[in-house]
Structure 1
């Protein structure tokens, strides 16, 4: 079981690694769902984690709010991907939607072109896609070689324990073509229950170790 711990800065990274974090997701402003961190935070965290054999996934998101981005914001994201790749990040976490709450295929394709050699996670923008289109979205992300989908299995105002049926549906449909990464409310206390209830190999959260 890979425990991916979400952190806003470097402060707790050494402690989290010592307590069993297997991978870091680095993103600022968790109160708004995460945005891209500063150069300094990224550089120091990536360097430290690599010296301790820990991978780093770095959020690329120019602001909080919705996941519908203007062309200029997409350009910001492109620059951030190039920059983070130069710093040595192992992967990128991103997601773009259009006005219809479907994947912004043009924006995502242009961003994914820049992620060659990196792991890619499509973040919780996935949960904003209409339920009847989510399986089609899984197919699109598989086709475009995205590695995993971070999902709560429903609205964030629900408990993740109450979304196990939907998460199972994602996992079964994905059929090992893409990793389904449960997140949002996964804790050290409910991790065993979740892992015993659904077939998962990775989990994501701020409180899943120590």
Structure 2
């Protein structure tokens, strides 16, 4: 069982690693759903931890549809992130019709060649998740996991949908399904059992007062790690 934690800065990163996080997702502007962090933040976080860091690549919060101008920004951010030595990136892109924007995705995958890649919650805005999953399987050698709440606002309310996606991932031997959104130390055990997922993504659920305005709660993070380990 692996736990990924959203972090916004060096202090978050250190606290998450000390509390047992297996991987970090580094973002800025979390109130906007997460955007690409600054150069300085990436440098500081990478220097402060030893666990893998996935850097969000998202140029704006309007939607997940990107034009040529957006792509140029995405390109520069990926090259910067790669140059700085980040483990991987978190990215997602859609067409206006709700399908995966495969030409753009292919261009991004080429730029990020050699990096660990997560397709983010743009997946929750697709027209059909099963069809979208199968489309992403074309890139199974590069896209390692898909972050999703099963198409609902809260992953804990979509365990049946997530379980189906997990089974689909086993059938196609493709990208891992990583539930996220609304996960807490109190519901993680039941979500893990019902979905049979092996990786989980946490944000405000591991912070004091369950708010990004407050620091990571080390005791919460340690507790949920114990809850997951007890399932094995």
Please give the TM-score of this superposition, normalised by the length of structure 2: 0.84
- SS of the aligned residue for 1:130 comes to coil
Contact 2:160 2:194 in 1 (8 A): no
Name the CA distance, whole Å, in 2 between partners of 1:177 and 1:111.
Answer: 19
- SS of the aligned residue for 1:12 comes to helix
Name the CA distance, whole Å, in 1 between partners of 2:168 and 2:181.
Answer: 21
- Residue 11 of structure 1 deviates from its aligned partner by 2.2
Contact 2:10 2:48 in 1 (8 A): no
Contact 2:4 2:201 in 1 (8 A): yes
Name the CA distance, whole Å, in 2 between partners of 1:15 and 1:32.
Answer: 23
Aligned ranges 1:1-210 → 2 under 5 Å:
1-50=1-50, 54-131=51-128, 134-145=129-140, 146-156=143-153, 159-175=154-170, 176-206=173-203, 207-208=205-206, 209=221
CA deviations over 1:52-111 (Å, ceiling 9, x no partner)? xx0001100001121011111011101111110011111110011111011111111111
Matched pairs, number: 203
- Residue 160 of structure 1 deviates from its aligned partner by 2.0
Q: Give the corresponding residue for 2:210.
A: none
- Residue 45 of structure 1 deviates from its aligned partner by 0.5
For structure 2, list consecutive stretches of 5 or more residues without a partner in the other structure.
Answer: 207-220, 223-232
Name the CA distance, whole Å, in 1 between partners of 2:201 and 2:70.
Answer: 26
Name the CA distance, whole Å, in 2 between partners of 1:160 and 1:151.
Answer: 8
Q: Give the corresponding residue for 2:214.
A: none
Name the CA distance, whole Å, in 2 between partners of 1:82 and 1:140.
Answer: 25
Name the CA distance, whole Å, in 2 between partners of 1:61 and 1:204.
Answer: 18
Name the CA distance, whole Å, in 2 between partners of 1:136 and 1:101.
Answer: 11
RMSD of aligned residue pairs (Cα, Å): 1.2
Name the CA distance, whole Å, in 2 between partners of 1:198 and 1:170.
Answer: 9
